[in-house]
Chains A and B, each alone.
Chain A
Amino acid sequence: MPKDHGIGASVKRREDVRFLMGLGNYTDDMAIAGQAHAVFVRSQVAHGRINKIDTADAAAMPGVLAVLTGEDFKDVGGNPTGWLINSRDGTPMREPKRPALAHGKVRHVGDAYAVVIAETYAQAKEAAEAIVADIEELPAIVDMAAAVADPSNRVHEEIPDNLCYDWGWIEDNRAAVDEAIKNAPHVTTLELVNNRLVPNAMEPRASIGEYFPGTGDYKLTTTSQNPHLTRLLIAAFVLGIPENKLTVVAPDVGGGFGSKIYHYGEEAVVLTAAKKLGRAVRWTAERSESFLSDAHGRDHVTRIELACEKDGTFIAFRTETMANVGAYLSNFATVTPTFLHGTLMAGPYKVPNVYVNVKTVFTNTAPVDAYRGAGRPEATYSLERVIDKMCRELGLDPFEVRRKNFITTDMFPYTTPVGLAYDTGDYHATLDKAMAMADVAGFEARRAASAAKGKLRGMGLSTWIEACGIAPSHLVGILGSRVGLYDAATVRVNATGNISVMTGAHSHGQGHETVFAQIVADKLGVPEASVEIVHGDTSKIPFGMGSYGSRSLAVCGSAVTRAIDKIVAKGKKIAAHMLEAAEEDIAFENGSFTVAGTDKAKTFGEIAFSAYVPHNYPLETLEPGLEETAFYDPANFTYPAGAYICEVEVDADTGKVDVVAFHCADDFGNIMNPMVVEGQVHGGVGQGIGQALCENTVYDENGQLLSGSYMDYAMPRADDVPFYNVDYSCQTPCTHNPLGAKGCGEAGAIGSPPAVVNAVIDALQRGGHSHVTHIDMPVSPARVWAAIQG
């Protein structure tokens, strides 16, 4: 019988009840007495000099309470970047100021330069149209290569070549890699584009600012994945509000996928306006604003070379990438194409030599930052596509080539040539599992069946690895991070014995309220129902870094575990006193403190009560109360890995691709809640199929966003995807965190795109279109058809 509670059980999610009843509490659901409405005025041109903004007409319109422009924010701070990257020559990256509202210049379509606050939303919206902005249009910088080539046209005046940095990883490998490639028996080269994506969390961003003049306190309710980080940025860098006078609340949040990690200017504006007006000021993005102003993802142009022996044994990988960072540096924009990407360029392979070069470029487009997977999907896509191409060039079996090159289980811990130390894994096991799930042997028969229907069938493989559970503070500090990446949890055992757990991690779909409660209940031997998880409110939770980078369980879950250990340790002291035994003789199991070898015992509840009503208590040596906080700083990343096999059918007449089967064999180490893990993989694969087949963000040469709504940005729908076949039975527990858990949140989005594209190429090759060796994502019907035509 499967477990029905505790660690490893598919416990149904408690948060679902409120969501299913329509009783969720998302930012836009909150109505605050006296609230006013903000509407932002956004640039219609990609690049322009702001000569004058005339707000007089707007200010005079009915219901208008205030109009603010970049001028009002020019003397406060800018929105900073969390990671310093140095160029190959040792010079620090270029870091332009990112103001809350554009000042002097607008730098992308959707760049907000003014805001109107009015009694009603409709009034604010109408007044926003009455603002007359004299903006002198400048030539738009859209193409990355052109941006770097033409120093006369600059996104930021002080950055002549529009280059943020030119990064090499690892620079010491460069000469050896060049040499290896020069001398290699075979080199496969592939130029590819990792398409720009709009995260599209279904809840648009929203923020409500409040100011309480009696105390001078501010409150920001906002759609954030990490309220403490947002508070820190606003306090320390942007508005200078003392950190202890600002509360940031991220209530129910409708998905993030990275886009809600970052602090955005709108948050600073609603806080400032709330103080100015003495009223709550609210803003909710329209979807079209989200398209223009949420941080986008990916957008790499890469040339990768794979050098190998004729039998497919890898000798070296070399990549040159241009990464688009957009018009401003979003909070993690600089680390995503570098340390989250370059360090993964060895994959799960024992390749001796790797060198990565990344040039990160400013353009007149929306900022680009981490989106589900962040850098690792880009690395995986480049590797798994070039390996597939090499196999075809040399006539080798793609499964065998992976096997030949995998790091083997006897090699851990394994340090890659790009600087990561993989602690554990079993890549052969996940590949074997995936092949069994996919019935690889039966493919020929399925292909024939598809052919009989007039469809070309193909199979694609991707064996992926990623580094997540971000991140060891010491290491990231050396690499340029300006923050620590630990997390924190407080376990408060209340006097009546039930438990409140305050976490730095924030759940916006991941199910922490259920899964963390499972862990706590399991470890303390109490019913799950007596454990409450509190997250998302800086006035309640300890300083934690929030949820992204598949870190919630591996980092914050470890903090919870450590805090529980402290609770148990203290409980033992209390029990020893009450049971008149030595502390060393107290055992804790199944919610009961016992004296070894006797039947003397105290329940967890009795100990908790005693801690708060300390009549029979060692007060001389022990404080009353039963509440512990732990900060957990991971010793290393976790390294989940897996093998994905995709099967597609291609309609050669129209170019339409149908994903007909998708198999995932993953190694996430120990599993807390299988149901939740499956859901995470499903969601990631859905997004990966979206990236591979339909999603694309297109700016025209004037910097206008052509795919700015769901009319043109193709979100995967229910009928675009199949059921996924997901397995996580290969488990090599993480060696360095107390739960043995690896991150699972981004896996699906990392591993799936190359599996899909490899399958499409396979289908075309087998279908007689052998000239098609690559198609850039999204592999849309039009592109597939055009590729077939040659």
Chain B
Amino acid sequence: MTKVTMTVNGRAVSGEVEGRTLLSAFLREGLGLTGTHVGCDTSQCGACVVHVDGQPVKSCTVFASDVEGASVTTIEGMANPDGTLGRVQQAFQDHHGLQCGFCTPGMVMSAAALLAENPKPTEADVRHYLEGNICRCTGYHNIVKAVLAASGQDVSGLAAE
């Protein structure tokens, strides 16, 4: 066991971890931040996406020790300071961008990262950026719509072609 220290959602945290402790496990089991989900064992589903120093990463595919000293943001850190839903979260609720909610934390974290890089993405940009986040419930329609809406674009009457 070694000690690892990082900032999670603006709060300095530390804990004893093994070399093999994944960031996802440190967040869920070590810190009780169970909003970050684990949906696969081959690093493909994206349910576990968090931000490390502002960049989206799959927390199931990073060792906690490897992000020593980093600043980590999880879904629990995405609300506004007054506790209301943040911009991306609110867009997901407004546009029914979630059903069972399991993929949602990763989707929101990926979407937020996209908008930070590209404030006015096209539909194709959104779909491409979310390539590593699998959702089984929504058929992606309302997720893509929510992300476009969160970027301030008009999404009324969206359909193919």
Query: Could you say which residues of chain A place their CB within 8 Å of the CB of B131?
Result: 717-719
Contact between A22 and B36 (Cβ–Cβ < 8 Å)? yes
* In the complex, residue of chain A having the shortest beta-carbon distance to the beta carbon of B84: A17
Contact between B96 and A723 (Cβ–Cβ < 8 Å)? no
Interface string of A187-209 (1 = CB under 8 A from B): 00000000000011111100000
Q: Which of A24, A202, A709 contacts B42 (CB 8 A)?
A: A709
24 intermolecular pairs with C-beta atoms under 8 Å apart: A12-B94, A12-B96, A16-B92, A19-B98, A19-B101, A21-B75, A22-B76, A26-B37, A202-B100, A202-B135, A254-B101, A255-B102, A287-B40, A511-B99, A660-B161, A675-B96, A686-B141, A689-B139, A710-B45, A710-B134, A711-B44, A717-B131, A718-B133, A725-B159
CA distance A660 to B35 in the complex (A): 35
Contact residues of A between 696 and 726, Cβ < 8 Å to B: 709-711, 715-719, 721-726
The reply to whether the CB of B1 lies closer than 8 angstroms to some CB of chain A is: no
Contact between A686 and B98 (Cβ–Cβ < 8 Å)? no
CA distance A1 to B98 in the complex (A): 25
Contact residues of A between 21 and 60, Cβ < 8 Å to B: 21-24, 26, 28-29, 31
The reply to whether the CB of B56 lies closer than 8 angstroms to some CB of chain A is: no
* In the complex, residue of chain A having the shortest beta-carbon distance to the beta carbon of B130: A718
Contact between A201 and B36 (Cβ–Cβ < 8 Å)? no
Contact between B41 and A684 (Cβ–Cβ < 8 Å)? no
Query: Could you say which residues of chain A place their CB within 8 Å of the CB of B145?
Result: 723
Interface string of B71-96 (1 = CB under 8 A from A): 00011101100000100010011101
* Closest Cβ–Cβ distance, residue B155 to chain A (whole Å): 10
* Closest Cβ–Cβ distance, residue A458 to chain B (whole Å): 14
Contact between A723 and B158 (Cβ–Cβ < 8 Å)? yes
CA distance A31 to B33 in the complex (A): 12
CA distance A571 to B30 in the complex (A): 52
Most B CB contacts (10 A, CB to CB) among A23, A685, A723, A748 go to A723
Q: Closest 4 A-B residue pairs measured CB to CB?
A: A22-B35, A686-B139, A254-B102, A19-B101
Query: Could you say which residues of chain A place their CB within 8 Å of the CB of B161?
Result: 446, 647, 660-661, 722
* In the complex, residue of chain B having the shortest beta-carbon distance to the beta carbon of A727: B159
Known contacts A122-B20, A678-B142, A718-B140; 5 additional CB pairs below 8 A are: A252-B100, A660-B161, A679-B96, A679-B142, A723-B160
The reply to whether the CB of B123 lies closer than 8 angstroms to some CB of chain A is: yes
CA distance A719 to B147 in the complex (A): 14
The reply to whether the CB of B57 lies closer than 8 angstroms to some CB of chain A is: no
Contact residues of A between 714 and 771, Cβ < 8 Å to B: 715-719, 721-726, 748
Q: Which of B32, B40, B99, B142 contacts A255 (CB 8 A)?
A: B99
Query: Could you say which residues of chain A place their CB within 8 Å of the CB of B159?
Result: 661, 663, 723-726
Contact between A718 and B127 (Cβ–Cβ < 8 Å)? yes
CA distance A748 to B136 in the complex (A): 13
* Closest Cβ–Cβ distance, residue B119 to chain A (whole Å): 19
Q: Which of B33, B38, B96 contacts A22 (CB 8 A)?
A: B33
The reply to whether the CB of B62 lies closer than 8 angstroms to some CB of chain A is: no
Query: Could you say which residues of chain A place their CB within 8 Å of the CB of B33?
Result: 22
Q: Which of B78, B85, B100, B105 contacts A509 (CB 8 A)?
A: B100
Query: Could you say which residues of chain A place their CB within 8 Å of the CB of B45?
Result: 202, 287, 710
* In the complex, residue of chain A having the shortest beta-carbon distance to the beta carbon of B44: A710
CA distance A509 to B142 in the complex (A): 14
Indicate whether A201 sits within 8 Å of B100 (C-beta atoms), given known contacts A22-B105, A722-B160. Answer: yes
Which B residues contact A (CB, under 8 angstroms)?
Answer: 20, 28-29, 32-42, 44-45, 47, 74-76, 78-79, 85, 89, 92-94, 96, 98-105, 108, 123-124, 126-128, 130-131, 133-145, 158-161
Query: Could you say which residues of chain B place their CB within 8 Å of the CB of A660?
Result: 160-161
The reply to whether the CB of A286 lies closer than 8 angstroms to some CB of chain B is: yes
Contact between B39 and A723 (Cβ–Cβ < 8 Å)? no
Indicate whether A287 sits within 8 Å of B160 (C-beta atoms), given known contacts A20-B92, A509-B137, A717-B131. Answer: no
Most B CB contacts (10 A, CB to CB) among A202, A288, A716, A726 go to A202
Query: Could you say which residues of chain B place their CB within 8 Å of the CB of A725?
Result: 159-160
Contact between B108 and A20 (Cβ–Cβ < 8 Å)? yes
Query: Could you say which residues of chain A place their CB within 8 Å of the CB of B99?
Result: 255, 509-511, 679, 683
* Closest Cβ–Cβ distance, residue A727 to chain B (whole Å): 10
Query: Could you say which residues of chain A place their CB within 8 Å of the CB of B32?
Result: 31
The reply to whether the CB of A518 lies closer than 8 angstroms to some CB of chain B is: no
Contact between B98 and A717 (Cβ–Cβ < 8 Å)? no
The reply to whether the CB of A676 lies closer than 8 angstroms to some CB of chain B is: yes
Contact between B160 and A200 (Cβ–Cβ < 8 Å)? no
Contact between A17 and B160 (Cβ–Cβ < 8 Å)? no
Contact between B123 and A23 (Cβ–Cβ < 8 Å)? no
CA distance A19 to B159 in the complex (A): 26
Query: Could you say which residues of chain B place their CB within 8 Å of the CB of A255?
Result: 99-100, 102, 136-137
Most A CB contacts (10 A, CB to CB) among B20, B33, B38, B159 go to B159
* Closest Cβ–Cβ distance, residue B12 to chain A (whole Å): 19
* In the complex, residue of chain B having the shortest beta-carbon distance to the beta carbon of A203: B102
* Closest Cβ–Cβ distance, residue B2 to chain A (whole Å): 16
The reply to whether the CB of A257 lies closer than 8 angstroms to some CB of chain B is: yes
CA distance A724 to B159 in the complex (A): 5
Query: Could you say which residues of chain B place their CB within 8 Å of the CB of A723?
Result: 123, 141, 144-145, 158-160
Query: Could you say which residues of chain B place their CB within 8 Å of the CB of A550?
Result: none
* In the complex, residue of chain A having the shortest beta-carbon distance to the beta carbon of B47: A202
Interface string of A283-304 (1 = CB under 8 A from B): 0001110000000000000000
* In the complex, residue of chain B having the shortest beta-carbon distance to the beta carbon of A19: B101
Contact between A719 and B136 (Cβ–Cβ < 8 Å)? no
* In the complex, residue of chain A having the shortest beta-carbon distance to the beta carbon of B104: A19
